[in-house]
């Protein structure tokens, strides 16, 4: 079977790595999966034209009911969709986007939610479509680059004073407003002024160039907070494994791949207490959840001084990922779902 797969493919983003991983699952079952960036299309007609190229596509898969699904209205081939966090956390606030998503869901053979909480939100919005929504958590695949030089990485981010007792908090995100990378800036800078052994490094692609400029300007006026250029997934995982903790500061999340990857790499997680994060982080069990910048600092200081707590959370998080976010289980689920497109 030949499938067209539509997704947001900005390099080094969670959407991109998720799409690549799912494509691998589909192709491992013997199907052909053509992965294309939604940014390449302007109308449903563009998608139809691509699908008719020989040999024609027999089905479609799309990540995001709005960003990808809007191009499937009028599509004659069977399709399935995967909810993104943006769909249920942000786009539902726009009535026009909400109407489009409802039409897409009605036509889809199936929809995938990464968590039961996301499915519950979808059911409240579209109760008659509940049977179409399947819950399949994201799988995790971590690969660490060999020969990664930690000191070179720190210098590339602008860190000049590299001491043995340096504790690096790594905030992994694409630079866009919903990720809110400046949320902790003032509080962390104040903490760094009191304890120069702690620094925060923000790393990720410049998804929103205008906002990325604002981030760069803000960081030039601060201390203790740095910005690193995006890296390959393998290099990012190597940097993450050397960090003291993974930080998440998003206004909203679907299911953060960076959090799951940190758990798999046995790195403590300190995440903003929003529903998408609370679905995978159990406070003081598999990570720490904070609601204000000041609480972030207090919890991080506690983590620095409580090795037993850190080891407890890392051990539980590793077990949780192995049990609920298996890449093999994810592969089986998508191979089964693709059969619904025949």
Domain boundaries, the chain: 2-139+326-341, 150-324
Helices (H), the chain: 14-27, 44-51, 85-89, 95-107, 116-125, 150-156, 185-194, 209-220, 233-242, 257-264, 275-278, 293-305, 307-324, 327-338
H or E segment to which residue 227 belongs: strand 225-228
* Strand, helix or coil for residue 25: helix
Nearest to 119 by CA among 71, 93, 82: 82
- Asked whether the predicted pLDDT for residue 275 surpasses 70, the reply is yes
Mean pLDDT of 269-278: 95
Pairing of strands 79-82, 59-63: parallel
Given a cut of 90, whether residue 300 has pLDDT beyond it is yes
CA distances from 155 to 11, 172, 235, 334 (A): 23, 18, 15, 41
Contact 192, 223 (CB under 8 A): yes
Q: What is the CA radius of gyration of the chain?
A: 21
336 pLDDT band (50/70/90 cuts)? very high
pLDDT category at 12 given cuts 50, 70, 90 is low
Q: How far apart are CA 290 and CA 240, in angstroms?
A: 20
Task: Determine the CATH number of domain 2-139+326-341.
Answer: 3.40.50.2000
**Distance separating alpha carbons of residues 341 and 78, to the nearest angstrom:** 6
183 or 18: which leads in pLDDT = 183
Q: According to the model, what pLDDT value does residue 237 have?
A: 97
Q: What does the pLDDT look like over 233-264, one tens digit per residue? A: 999 999 999 999 999 999 999 899 999 999 99
Predicted local confidence at residue 34, as pLDDT: 93
96/201 Cα distance (integer angstroms): 37
CA 2 vs CA 5, 56, 65, 76, 168: distances in Å = 10, 7, 21, 15, 45
DSSP string, 87-135: HHHTGGGSHHHHHHHHHHHHH-SEEEESSHHHHHHHHHH-GGGGGGEEE
DSSP-based three-state secondary structure for 172: strand
pLDDT above 70 as % of the chain: 99
Tell me the C-alpha distance between 307 and 155, whole Å.
Answer: 28
| Reported confidence tier of residue 71, pLDDT bands at 50, 70, 90 | very high
Distance CA 10, CA 155 (A): 26
User: Do 2-139+326-341 and 150-324 come out as alike in CATH topology?
Assistant: yes
Q: Is the CB of residue 201 less than 8 Å from the CB of residue 173? A: no
Tell me the CA distances in angstroms from 221 to 162, 218, 237, 246, one per residue in order.
21, 5, 29, 23
pLDDT above 70: residue 39:
yes
Three-state secondary-structure class, residue 341:
helix
pTM above 0.85, yes or no: yes
Report pLDDT digits (tens) over 106-126. Answer: 999 999 999 888 899 999 999
End-to-end CA distance of the chain: 8
- Average per-residue pLDDT in the chain? 94
pLDDT of residue 162: 86
Residue 271: CB atoms within 10 A of its CB come to 28
Per-residue pLDDT at 60 exceeds 70: yes
The topology under which CATH files domain 150-324 is Rossmann fold (3.40.50)
The mean pLDDT of 63-84, rounded to a whole number, is: 93
CA atoms lying within 13 Å on the CB side of residue 98: 12
């Amino acid at each position: 079977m030949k499938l067209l797969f539509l997704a947001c493919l900005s390099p080094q983003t969670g959407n991109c790595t998720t799409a690549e991983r799912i494509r691998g699952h589909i192709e491992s079952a013997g199907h052909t999966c053509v992965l294309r960036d939604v940014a390449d299309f302007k109308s449903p007609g563009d998608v139809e034209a691509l699908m008719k190229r020989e040999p024609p596509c027999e089905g479609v898969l799309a990540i995001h009911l709005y960003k990808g699904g809007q191009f499937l209205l009028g599509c004659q081939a069977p399709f399935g969709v995967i909810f993104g966090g943006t769909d249920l956390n942000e786009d539902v606030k726009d009535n026009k986007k909400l109407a489009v998503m409802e039409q897409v869901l009605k036509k889809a053979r199936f929809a995938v939610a990464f968590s039961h909480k996301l499915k519950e939100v979808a059911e409240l919005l579209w109760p008659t479509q509940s049977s179409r929504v399947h819950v399949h958590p994201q799988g995790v695949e971590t690969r660490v680059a060999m020969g990664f030089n930690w000191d070179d990485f720190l210098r590339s981010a602008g860190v000049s004073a590299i001491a043995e007792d340096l504790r690096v908090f790594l905030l992994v995100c694409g630079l866009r407003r919903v990720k809110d990378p400046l949320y902790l800036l003032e509080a962390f800078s104040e903490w760094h002024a009191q304890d120069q052994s702690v620094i925060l490094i923000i790393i990720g692609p410049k998804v929103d160039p205008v906002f990325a400029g604002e981030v760069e300007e803000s960081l030039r006026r601060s201390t203790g907070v740095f910005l690193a250029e995006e890296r390959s997934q393998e290099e990012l995982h190597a940097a993450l494994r050397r960090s003291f903790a993974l930080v998440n500061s998003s206004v909203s999340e679907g299911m953060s791949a960076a959090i799951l990857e940190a758990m798999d790499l046995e790195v403590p997680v300190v995440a903003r207490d929003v529903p998408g994060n609370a679905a995978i982080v159990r406070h003081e069990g598999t990570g720490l959840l904070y609601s204000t910048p000041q609480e972030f600092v207090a919890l991080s200081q506690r983590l620095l001084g409580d090795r037993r707590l850190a080891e407890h959370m890392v051990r539980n998080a590793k077990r949780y990922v192995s049990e609920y976010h298996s890449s093999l289980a994810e592969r089986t689920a998508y191979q089964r779902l693709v059969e619904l497109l025949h």
